[in-house]
Amino acid sequence: MLKRIWLKSALALVAIVFGGSLALAPAPAAARVFVHVFAGPAFFTPYYYAPPPVVYYPPPVYYAPPPVVYAPPPPTPIAPQAQTWYYCDNPQGYYPYVSSCASGWRQVPARP
């Protein structure tokens, strides 16, 4: 008796497994449906989903900023140096008119 119950339950399990797999099986090719779209007079084309084409754009163009040019500061006026002449007492005269002086050179402020 136990064998019959076990056999019936095994057959029921096999029927459920195979029956379920048959329900999930794809339909035969004759049962598939294609959608056609009218695209002109007496011209039918099948409509299939196609992903949009991949479009590659060129990379953006970046321009370097213009170089920053700094003007140099205006030159600071330099005070003219006080000019000095050199005078010799023996022989009398100013340098470079007298090339050597025996008594020593004396500094004299320059006169215009």
Q: For 50-77, how does the pLDDT look when each residue is reduced to its tens digit (9 = 90+)? A: 788 889 999 989 889 999 999 998 888 8
Distance CA 57, CA 2 (A): 75
Domains of the chain by residue range: 82-112
Instruction: Tell me which DSSP letter residue 44 carries.
Output: E
pLDDT digits (tens, 9 = 90+) for 71-99: 998 888 887 777 889 999 988 998 888 98
Task: Name residues whose C-beta falls within 8 Å of residue 65's C-beta, 6 or more positions apart in sequence.
Answer: none
Query: Where does the chain have alpha helices with state H?
Result: 2-24
